[in-house]
Amino acid sequence: MSEKKPAPNGWIILDKPRGLGSTQAVGAVKRVLREGGYAKTKVGHGGTLDPLAEGVLPIALGEATKLAGRMLDASKIYEFTIAFGVETDTLDTEGETVGTSDVRPSLPQIEAILPEFSGTIEQVPPAYSALKVDGKRAYDLARAGEVVELEMRAVTIHSLTIADGPHARDEITLMAHVSKGTYIRSLARDIAHALGTCGHVTYLRRTKAGPFAEAQAISLDKLNEIANGAQLSDLLLPLEAGLDDIPALSLSQTDAQAVRQGRVLSGLPQSSGLYFAKLGNVPVALVEIMDGTAKVVRGFNLPDVAE
């Protein structure tokens, strides 16, 4: 029996196809690693994408799974199409029609309404969502025919613009840069209502998740090549790729040892905030500096010499 390759640490950015769930995508990565001869590896994803949505899905491997929570909190960019005239119970193409309208907004009317949906706004999540109501998933209750009442929540729309390209009379494609917790289907519903009509999402693609953009994403076919002996290193982004927005803190060997033991570093000149501590090129920990004192937020268990 051949010796297994060491479990990898880092990120695979998957261009998730429509029809595949995020959990299924994680399962696909686990399968190709197993078939590619790698040791058992912890795998997680950095932000759910609905099966009907496509695009950037960060998959964390090994020590990078410790950063998956940060990825959930990161802002995202989506491209989506609203078809006007029909609203469905799921607010997308899967659902049953619950409302219709003959009103079709003009392009100038759409342009005029978008500023109302910029900045901090309130939205009610879709009944068909993974949020929990009394310990049960909202979509399970909705599918069982129960009336699901979800509370309004505040989200931030950093930008909302009309996408380039031709525009049909009965639909519009928009680009939205949004905070965590934003439901694009709810945004589409509310924009349609504000325009005096109704609508639902027919196309949804995530083009950016935190620091990861679609240019870095690989297809399922490319992923499957790992199972057939392709070099994982050609597709794997380093753990620190998920920390692009955090300043680095270079450690000495002595300080790195202390941080790995969970000890506090003091007398640091850096301003307060979150830092990515490393020894040479090796990630050691995420640390929080407060008034010159650094405490470990999340430690990484990686060898001093990158393999």
Amino acid at 118: S
The dihedral formed by the CA atoms of 96, 100, 103 and 104, expressed in degrees to the nearest 10: 20
Burial class from Cβ neighbours inside 10 Å (0-12, 13-18, 19+) for residue 206 reads buried
Are 202 and 53 in contact by the 8 Å Cβ rule? The answer is no
Active site residue 89: no
Could you tell me whether strands 212-213 and 248-250 are parallel, antiparallel, or unpaired per DSSP bridges? Answer: unpaired
From the list 50, 89, 190, 255, the catalytic residue is: 50
**Would you say the C-alpha torsion 183, 184, 187, 192 has a positive or negative sign?**
negative
Q: What is the DSSP string of 220-272?
A: HHHHHGGGGT--GGGTPBPGGGGGTTS-EEE--HHHHHHHHTTPPB----SPS
Query: Which helix (H) or strand (E) element contains residue 155?
Result: strand 153-162
- Burial category of 107 from C-beta neighbours within 10 Å (exposed 0-12, middle 13-18, buried 19 and up): exposed
Note whether 148 and 162 are within 8 A (CB).
Answer: no
Do the strands 212-213 and 199-209 form a parallel or antiparallel pair, or are they unpaired?
Answer: antiparallel
Output the six-digit token pair for 96. 């049953």
What residues act catalytically? 50
